[in-house]
Amino acid sequence: MASNMDTVGGFEMAKALHKHSLFTSVHKHYSVEEWLGFARNNEEALSSLAISQGIGEEDQRKVNAVLSQIPQIGYISIHVANGYAQNFVEAIYATRRKFPQKTIIAGNVVTGDMVEVLIKAGADIVKVGIGPGSMCTTREKTGVGSPQLQCVLK
């Protein structure tokens, strides 16, 4: 059976992992209404998850709408397969300005120089490693990547 990496971090996974004090970055494909329903029924899990977004305007609008109604979410994950793009850095900067008290997780990059750029743009946690997972096809599809995986804290 094929795995869909776009939806690995779903609400069911977040509920299950929260029971074990584990963290989930929830995928970006849920609607605002789905987020509101989840929050109503699972308020205790909100402390151990991140809302995810890409770098598009629609992603940013959705995150703004969700966080304006569910301020208990303390983490935002800005995720792209390959973080070496100016619009990715700009999205981190804009998110930091909009949400100065939230913890921002950003990635993916593989060099110390780019980690520094993302931290200066406003990231608190940087995901390092492009295409490191067994199910990830980024390295094969783009020819870019490195299998190292670690977190660098600000």
pLDDT digits (tens, 9 = 90+) for 72-94: 999 999 988 889 999 999 999 99
Q: Which of 22, 21, 24, 27 is nearest to 5 (CA)?
A: 27
Give whole-number Cα distances, 73 to 14, 28, 113, in Å: 13, 14, 30
For the chain, the average pLDDT equals 86
CB 76 within 8 A of CB 104: yes
3-state secondary structure the chain: CCCCHHHCCCHHHHHHHHCCCCCEEECCCCCHHHHHHHHHHCHHHHHHEEEEECCCHHHHHHHHHHHHHCCCCCEEEEECCCCCCHHHHHHHHHHHHHCCCCEEEEEEECCHHHHHHHHHHCCCEEEEEECCCCCCCHHHHHCCCEEEEEEEEC
pLDDT number for residue 151: 42
Of the ranges 61-75, 95-109, 121-135, which one carries the lowest mean pLDDT score?
121-135
Q: What angle do CA 55, 121, 7 make, to 5 degrees?
A: 35
**Catalytic sites, residue numbers:** 136, 138
Query: Do residues 62 and 33 make contact, with C-beta atoms less than 8 angstroms apart?
Result: no
Confidence band for 131, pLDDT divided at 50, 70 and 90: low
pLDDT above 90: residue 147: no
Domains of the chain with CATH codes: 5-153 (3.20.20.70)
Cβ atoms of residues 114 and 83 within 8 Å: yes
Which of 45-49, 89-93, 115-119, 137-141 is predicted with the least confidence, judged by mean pLDDT? 137-141
55-70 pLDDT, tens digit per residue, is 999 999 999 999 999 9
Q: How confident is the model at residue 137 (pLDDT cuts 50, 70, 90)?
A: low
Residue 6: what pLDDT? 61
Q: Is the pLDDT of residue 17 over 80?
A: yes
